[in-house]
Each structure stands twice: as structure tokens, then as C-alpha cells.
Amino acid sequence: MQIRRTVTIIFQGLTVILALALIIVYFYPASKPDNNTVVQILEAPKGRAPLGSAEQHPNSYADAVAHAAPAVVNIYTTKIITERNRPTFEDPLYRYFFGDGNDNDTPQPRRESSLGSGVIISQQGNILTNHHVIEGADEIAIALNDGRRTTAKLVGDDPESDLAVLKIDLPKLPVITVGRSEELRVGDVVLAIGNPFGVGQTVTAGIISALGRTGLGINTFENFIQTDAAINPGNSGGALINVRGELVGINTAIFSETGGSQGIGFAIPTNLARDVTTQIIEQGHVVRGWLGVGIQDISAELAESFELPEPQGAIITHIMPDSPAEQAKLKQGDIITQINGQRVHDFRDTLAQISRQKPGSDITITVLREGKTLEKKTKVSERPQQETDTRRKR
């Protein structure tokens, strides 16, 4: 009897130890071996009620800010630029009268600094920001809201969506909850958190002015949230949050004739940033489908000349050599109307649908050629990496 009781006690003890071990592994993934570490992004649950009741729109948003602000960081970058000490030596007239000046025309390095913002999205130290914030940086310094400072390394970036992921190595990092921008509605209250003009962390409030803004010429892939929450230089890469304190966008650009906020700001929604971020963390870059065509929108004049009922689709302006489009025997002047049976509306829609295709997968392009509808089949290639113009970014 004593032996049986002893065995029972030992068995119960082992059960308790095993249960505790499972709890520790589940709630504290950092205790797992480093080679099995998985980046965990805290995401908001799906299918919640919309933010519409008076209780969800209080007179103060302090709780939302308290939840999100600790995860918003200031980013300071430094570039080493080498330039001529006296640019006037490049003037031919100056050279004629004063000579080449070779003795004094030695290239001189100088440091150029800039600032921006970012958001901590994982306990592993991943920071989401804009590509243009860290573009060409030789050094990246991070200042946390709790006063800690450190340097960051670049995990990867995507110029075509203007997103980048950095990594820092600090313990007990505050992490933002990534919300679902697809649940946003025009009129929802949002808050922008960042470091405008380098004055320090600042919160501004506004509403969602519009959703799905495209054709702005800012990024190759555009699907912007428009807001009247004040966004200024230095806010780039910072958080746009809802009244729950969840990240719904990455503040990116402003429309301004003066360089200051005029109530028209743009943020990259999290439903676009989520996929880009995951790919950057997992493979260092973003993989997109590529057809190898130049395309443009169908204007009203083109629609009339092609006898189209409405200006919809995208017209092919050129075919790149040795591309999937050339293999499919597409031609300049073809009008793309469908991708894999799904109707396309314009240039941006066509580009987005092609880019979503996995490289190596089959694709069917429906085109209108000389009044006839044709279907062309080919395999999608991987889209080459491209640079973008970041002059209007903030």
C-alpha cells in the first residue's frame, strides 16, 4: 500500500512539472532554443463590432495612447556623403580664369543626418518603418519611449511599398498590437504617433478621410489610408492607431505645398504592411509576380478610339524581351481586361493582380485585340527589385 501511494505521488508530481513546462513554453517562447525562435506579431482578433458607439469614442484617448505609445520609437539615421570641397571648380568659366584648382579640390566626406519614426512589432525586436526613413543610411540609431537607446540593423526593405524592417537587441520590449485596417470606415477616429521635427514623441488626432487612395505617384504599390490627423516631417514610419490603441497604418506621406501638414496625410494600411513585413522577416525581401509589360490606364479618348463601352482595363505600351509576356505572344496595343478570369479596372489594379501571383505559377491574361477577345497563357516570373522616388515622403 505504501509503495502504491508513493508511486501515485511521484506520478502526480511529474504531471504537475510537465504541465508547468508546457505553460512556460507556450507563454514564454523566448525560452525556446534560438534556432527555433519564431517571430510573433501580436494581432487583433477578427470579426469584432465596429468602432461606432459613444462608449468607444470617449472624450479622452489616453488609454489608447498609453497602450500604443511605448512601442513607437524615434529613428535617427546618418549617411556619409563624399563631395568636392569647392563645387565652384566645376564651373568652366571659373576654371578658365583661376585654373583647375586640383590642389584644393580634394573630395571631403561629411555626415548627413535625418530623423523618422518606427513601431516595435515583436518581442524579438523587429521594428516596422518606412523605406525612405532608412534609405542609404550608414548608421541607424533607435530611441525608445522609455529612454533607452541602441543601434539597429536592417533586416530588409521594400522600396515599392516604402516599407522596411529593422531589428534591435534589447530585453522586455513594448510591442504594439497590429490591428485590422480592413475593418476601418471613413469617419473613424485615428491617432498619429511619431517624432515630428525631432521635438519628441507627439500624438495628433483626426479621422479617416478616405480609404484605398491610389494613383498618387508616391509608391509603386499604393492603397493608402487618408487622414486629417496632423502628419509632419519626422512622423514617417510612425504609428496610425485606432481608439483601441491598435496599429492600423504606418504614416508615410503628406500632401503639402508648404512642407507642413495641411490635413491631408497618407498611411500604409496594416493589411498591406502585414504581408510585406512577414516576407521581409522570413526571406529578407518581398517576392512578387512579374509579367514584363509596360501598361497604362485607358483614358476616355482611348476608350472612344477602341470603341470600348467604358474606360476600363489597362493598355500594353511595350513588351520586355525574354519576358513571360513575350512568351505569351502579347502585343503592344493589347488591352488587358482580365487576370485569371478576374476583371481588372485600371493600371493599378492590373499591377496588383499580377504582383500577387506566385512566381512560377500559371496565369491567364484576357486581352482585347482589334475588337476580338483572346486568352493568353504563360508562367509568371519574379518581379525585379526596383527603386522608387521618395522626394514627397515625410
Distance, in Å, from the CA atom of 371 to the CA atom of 131, rounded to the nearest integer, reads 43
Q: H or E segment at 63?
A: helix 62-68
11's grid cell: 506520478
Phi, psi values for residue 375, rounded to 5°: -115, 130
CB atoms under 10 Å from CB of 20, counted, come to 10
Whether residue 57 lies in the annotated active site = no
CA–CA distance, 161 with 119 (Å, rounded to integer): 17
Burial profile 275-308: b = 16 or more Cβ within 10 angstroms, e = fewer: ebbebbbeeeebebbbbbbebebbeeeebeebeb
To the query of whether residue 132 is one of the catalytic residues in this protein, the response is yes
Distance CA(251)–CA(384), nearest Å, equals 26
DSSP H or E segment with residue 133: helix 131-134
Q: What are the C-alpha distances in Å from 287 to residues 81, 157, 158, 222, 283?
A: 31, 12, 10, 17, 9
How distant, in Å, are the alpha carbons of 53, 220, 275 from that of 325? 51, 20, 26
Count of C-beta atoms within a 10 Å radius of residue 366: 20
Q: Measured between alpha carbons, how far is 335 from 328 in angstroms, rounded to an integer?
A: 14
- Catalytically annotated residue among 162, 228, 334, 346: 162
Gap between the Cα atoms of 272 and 361, Å rounded: 22
Question: CA-based Rg of the chain, rounded to a whole angstrom?
Answer: 27
Name the helix (H) or strand (E) containing 206. Answer: strand 202-213
Query: How far apart are the C-alpha atoms of 187 and 291, rounded to whole Å?
Result: 38
Residues 236, 261, 355, 381: which is the catalytic one?
236
Under DSSP, is residue 268 helix (H, G, I), strand (E, B) or coil? strand
Q: Which residues pair with 240 in a beta bridge?
A: 192, 249
114, 122, 132, 349: which is the annotated catalytic residue?
132
Q: So which residues are the catalytic ones? A: 132, 162, 236
